[in-house]
Amino acid sequence: MQTNNASSRILCPHLRGKIMSAEEAAALIPSGVNVGMSGFTGAGYPKAVPSTLAKRIMDANLHGKKFKIGVWTGASTAPELDGALAMVDGVEMRLPYQSDPTCRKRINAGEMEYIDIHLSHVAQFVWGGFLGKLDVAVVEVAGILEDGRLIPSSSVGNNKTWLDQADKIILEVNAWQNPHLEGMHDIYYGTALPPHRKPIPIVKTDDRIGEPYYRIDPNNVIAVVETNKADRNSPFTPPDANSKLIAGHILDFLQHEVKKGRLPANLLPLQSGVGNVANAVMAGLQDGPFENLTAYTEVLQDGMLDLIKCGKLTCASATSFSLSPAALEELNADLPRFKDSIILRPQEISNHPEVIRRLGVIAMNGLIEADIYGNVNSTHIMGTSIMNGIGGSGDFARNAFISIFMTPSSAKGGSVSCIVPMVSHVDHTEHDVQIIVTEQGLADLRGLAPKQRAKVVIEKCAHPNFRPALREYYDRALRYSPGRHTPHLLDEAYTFLPNWVANQTARAAWRDDATVQADAWAK
């Protein structure tokens, strides 16, 4: 299928009969329904129907009518989907992950509900009916075969589930998507709800256990829309000094583990999270000593593609591309070259706990704050405002062979410490966090009890500007905490968080109060 004309990619006569404009298709989506859309980190999202629907919602609003839908996706999408629908206040409930600024603003203003779910859980939640009924699926594909099967596009995400579960299906056939994507996907149809589950038969990252196409009932398709629009991802910022230091610490650690005989020379399958720091670590591996690497991950970012290009990474299994515009252009210019080394799977498989545990993945994810005992907050600012969501970080962290979390030691121009006494929201408990890395150093928490952890985290990871205050907190907690297993001064732990340096005076007053209180507890 070598064409960039959408029409000639629709080979099924029945579905050709359903071709219509985006406006006509959007008109088939009523207010109040749940819509499962394709899309994962700016790849493979529908490019025409959501923004057209947003215009319809705006019109309804102008006429004083309420028009809201539930929006379910694979993960984050792009301004044409999340941004457009959030802008017109058209989303009642959003799940399972977002990273759009307008969407985030609405959620944090209390105007949009958001369920932040482990990405591997979404399919079973939908099958189980916990999220309500899925009314419509709007899914981008790269083409339609004569028998109605669909060629997936640049992400898989939850599309198989949407196509299976929705009453009605709207397809966008995007001629921009590279025709060589055909054959790159592995869509597994063997999952089931308990008690009918069978083992997921993946024992190596490059095992293919499914088929390259989505199956559908063509009778459920109510519209087919032709598009020709590029995926939209943000460029990565080039690795800064801190990211390079973090990458260096991780590389040293991995080399040490190989030397100790705890990891093979080509490591174990890598998982790399979203964001600039994660991308920088992948870039660091390019200059590292490791060869024949593999990846069992969720998104394939620029750094991982570079590793494939330079021959260091032999196979990457993911659910989506998450490439900068430049990397995307390069990939599309030479896609057949990557066909043997990249597999795109449904997110219930790319993030499957059973497979992650079996393969012994090395998980590397970003964080917002970590506390001195190793609990990690990946999602909330000040414990109340969502940033993005947990995404797949929990799927990987809990089940990984080595679970690494990484961050610069401070944020917001150095005014906020990312190492705090107690996280203001917990996504990953101390039990799922083995390694914390900042530009200051790496804390290996494996085999350490809470008080041993606290010392290592403060000494290895905290920024020197905040280290003395953290030491002081910990020392006083050791003396005055009512329990000495995980010592804390509960009335003080959170007041450390904002503007730690700027609020010295206020905090000094606070500390006096807290000390009096702790003294009282100690008696």
| Site residues (vs ligand COA, CB under 6 A) | 273-277, 298, 365-369, 378, 381, 387-388, 390-393, 396, 408, 411-412, 416, 418
As a whole number of angstroms, the distance between CA 222 and CA 236 comes to 38
From 80, 298, 369, 439, active-site residue: 298
For residue 57, the one-letter residue type is I
CB of 388 to ligand COA, least distance (A): 4
Cis before 194? omega within 30: no
DSSP letters, 91-112, are EEEEES----HHHHHHHHTTSS
CB of 392 to ligand COA, least distance (A): 4
For the question of residue 298 being annotated catalytic, the response is yes
For ligand COA, the closer of residues 200 and 278 by Cβ is 278
CB of 305 to ligand COA, least distance (A): 16
As a whole number of angstroms, the distance between CA 499 and CA 495 comes to 10
Give kind and range of the element (H or E) at residue 460.
helix 450-461
Instruction: Say if CB 34 and CB 132 are below 8 A apart.
Output: yes
Pick from 339, 416, 2: nearest CA to 184:
339
The strand pair at 320-321 and 362-366 is best described as unpaired
Instruction: Say if CB 107 and CB 386 are below 8 A apart.
Output: yes
CB of 101 to ligand COA, least distance (A): 9
Residues in Cβ contact with 363 at an 8 Å cutoff, skipping those fewer than 6 apart: 271, 273, 356, 393, 396, 397, 400, 402, 403, 404
| DSSP label of 216 | -
Tell the residue number behind the tokens 């570079």, with chain if given. Answer: 306
CB of 404 to ligand COA, least distance (A): 11
As a whole number of angstroms, the distance between CA 210 and CA 379 comes to 33
Query: What amino acid positions are annotated as catalytic residues?
Result: 298
